[in-house]
Copies of this chain bind each other. A is one copy, B any other.
Amino acid sequence: MTSPDSQRIAELWAGRYGSAAAVPQAITPTLEGLLQHRSVRAYAPRALPADTAASMVAAAQSASSSSTLQAWSVVAVEDAGRKARLAELVGDQRHVRECPLFLVWLADLARLDEIGARRELARDSLDYLEMYTVGVIDAALAAQNAAVAAEAMGLGIVYIGGIRDQPEAVAAELGLPPRVFAAFGMCVGYPDPERPASVKPRLPQTAVLHRETYDAAAGEPAVQAYNATMSAFYGEQGMKTQGTWDTHSVHRVRGPAAMKGRDRLTEALHALGFPLK
């Protein structure tokens, strides 16, 4: 248990969970990379290799897709003016302005719609919540593969859920046709070495990994333990966080006043061509 390898694994586990409980015996270089993910919001003013987006998209397209329908797309934004306008639309997030590459990941049912229209074929399923869900899942699987590829290239990323704050304005900015929805954004760039980000701890595995059936009783003790882990983390980072993780997380979901416009997501999707039957 004191070999260099097991020591390294224990350190990776401690970074992710705040403790080295239940560490596996062995670990692949890929898992080692995944465990070191942190969201990067501070970027170096350094240009990306020309084929960055192409490589990330090849990774993204290699992810699974429901029935190989590939119900997603991505818009790569590098234009400074457009990044600045999008930064405003997502709640004035400066990293959207400052990153060299901003990706907007789309649930895209327009491609299937156009194929059907050209060939005069029915495509009524596109009107259902199921196909919205398929598009969102397809986009998320693709984006996560792209994130993994980017981090393996030495880049940093952060997801931007704020792209859902004003869906119609985002759609207008990007020229999205009906049946296309910007599900989330992603900043991409070289991390600024002078403003490094830290690996943020996650809930104990007991909270999220259920065996055979859902274990609701595992939640509360795991949350209590995680509150302590996160309070230590906030302290180390010098973060002024109100209360413990549990209370400030529930505060974030307290109601429409805290939703930054996303309480009207259904209305926005209707306007964008998703009837959500």
Report A's interface with B, CB cutoff 8 A: 13, 16-17, 22, 24-25, 27-31, 33-37, 39, 49, 51, 53-55, 57-70, 72-79, 82, 106, 108, 110-112, 114-116, 118-119, 121-126, 128-131, 133-134, 136-137, 140-141, 143-145, 147-149, 152-153, 158-159, 161, 164, 174-177, 180, 183-184, 200, 202-203, 205, 207-214, 216, 219-220, 223, 245-247, 249-256, 258-259, 262-263, 265-266, 269, 276-277
- Give the distance to chain B from A111, nearest Cβ to Cβ, in Å: 5
Contact A54 B254 (CB under 8 A): no
Question: Which residue in B140, B207, B265, B266 is a CB contact (below 8 Å) of A140?
Answer: B140
6 further A-B pairs in the complex, CB-CB below 8 A; given A68-B245, A266-B277 = A25-B49, A57-B205, A64-B159, A115-B223, A125-B259, A177-B214
Contacts of A161 in B (CB 8 A): 66-67, 134
Contacts of A174 in B (CB 8 A): 210, 213-214
Instruction: Give the docked Cα–Cα distance between A177 and B210 (Å).
Output: 13
Instruction: Give the docked Cα–Cα distance between A51 and B209 (Å).
Output: 12
- Give the distance to chain B from A134, nearest Cβ to Cβ, in Å: 7
Contact A24 B266 (CB under 8 A): no
Instruction: Give the docked Cα–Cα distance between A177 and B217 (Å).
Output: 11
Instruction: Give the docked Cα–Cα distance between A28 and B82 (Å).
Output: 30
Contacts of A78 in B (CB 8 A): 211-212
Contact B212 A79 (CB under 8 A): yes
Chain B CB within 10 A, most for which of A27, A59, A79, A147: A59
Contact A253 B125 (CB under 8 A): yes
Contact B216 A149 (CB under 8 A): no
Contacts of A36 in B (CB 8 A): 62
- Give the distance to chain B from A248, nearest Cβ to Cβ, in Å: 9
Contact B252 A67 (CB under 8 A): yes
